[in-house]
Amino acid sequence: MLSVYAATALLVLALITQVGVYVLQQKYPAQGWFVDVAGGRLHVVDIGPREGAGPPIVLIHGATSNLGTMRVPLGDQLARTHRVILIDRPGHGWSTRDDLPNSSPAMQAKMIDEALGQLGIDHAIVVVHSLAGALGLRLALDYPQRVSGLVTLAGVAYPWPGGVGFYNKVVTTPVIGPLLAYTITLPLGLVLAGPGTRAAFLPQVMPEGYVQASAVPLVLRPQEFLANAWDLVTLKAAVAEQAPRYGDIRVPMLVMTGDTDTTVFPDVHSRRLAATVPGARLIVLLNVGHMVQNAAPDLICREIENMMAAADTKPTAASR
């Protein structure tokens, strides 16, 4: 009898999840268009003037999010004067990836490089946040001709002490993980999305309406939740593999972090990275947490302008 009740409860939760997915996708529809690449399809939003000073600016989001977290407010602000390309990472937002467990920065960098090529973008300023720090570094390593400059905001770069949350390991286990993702994740996540996102902003205050404006709840859909979990559980090994190559990076780089970031620790990642990459600049923001792009968008925009101005007077990374 107990098993019947349990099966019924799971069936009800699965139905609730499917209804929830439909509602979320109606509420947060795709805003751009799709680019087919090897390994999946990427959702791209292209805003701002096509013609203007400097190369396009590519913004790439971190974990448990989508391109909306880079658009509000940074992308929209940059788009006043520059062409801005926002990309949902493979498996996130409205992008897909064919092989969910294959979530390495190398794979994602290859897909994004291919998409930029199809968009006719030969070189760009790449701005990455949090988990995407590892992806931006991989772009600079494997496709330096595509990267006019790299700005990493509270970016992951090295292995860190500790893990990535017990629930991510559970969700990536066979049978049990997908069962949880397709039953309880969405109903429970809708309750926790607000408090969880608010915690990422500390000590800053999350802007009013941010969760809705950035479409964060999309991550609660089963396929994206699984993709996010795989990203996180495989990340430490991935950065351990690529970190020895950082000294070979030759693209201009700005490393920015908040000194109170408890999600991606500055001493473990940003300070060490800036000391390793030749010519990299480090900016540490006082009393700022993990959401650097929201805490200091004006400063980031100025630094990108400075990077563009400096690039105009120097040879490209490929020619160097």
Q: What is the pLDDT of residue 90?
A: 98
CATH of 32-156+165-309, one of 3.40.50.1820, 3.40.50.880, 3.40.50.740, 3.40.50.1980: 3.40.50.1820
Ordered by start, the domain boundaries in the chain are 32-156+165-309
Residue 238 corresponds to which amino acid? A
Q: What is the pLDDT of residue 319?
A: 37
Q: With a cut of 60, say whether residue 318 has pLDDT above it.
A: no
Instruction: For residue 257, give Cα distances in angstroms to 128, 189, 304.
Output: 12, 28, 15
| pTM assigned to the model | 0.94
Q: With a cut of 60, say whether residue 1 has pLDDT above it.
A: no
Q: Cα angle at 290 between 288 and 294, to 5 degrees?
A: 75
Instruction: Assign 317 a pLDDT band (cuts: 50, 70, 90).
Output: very low
- Identify the weakest region by mean pLDDT among 109-113, 150-154, 174-178, 278-282: 174-178
What does the pLDDT look like over 284-296, one tens digit per residue? Answer: 999 999 999 999 9
Task: Give mean pLDDT, residues 266-280.
Answer: 98
Task: Give mean pLDDT, residues 20-31.
Answer: 97
* Exposed / middle / buried, residue 122 (Cβ in 10 Å: 0-12, 13-18, 19+): middle
What does the pLDDT look like over 33-82, one tens digit per residue? Answer: 999 999 999 999 999 998 876 899 999 999 999 999 999 999 999 999 99
| Mean model confidence pLDDT for the chain | 94
Residue given tokens 């590892």 in the structure block = 134
Q: What is the pLDDT of residue 4?
A: 76
Which of 102-106, 131-135, 315-319 has the highest mean predicted lDDT (pLDDT)? 131-135
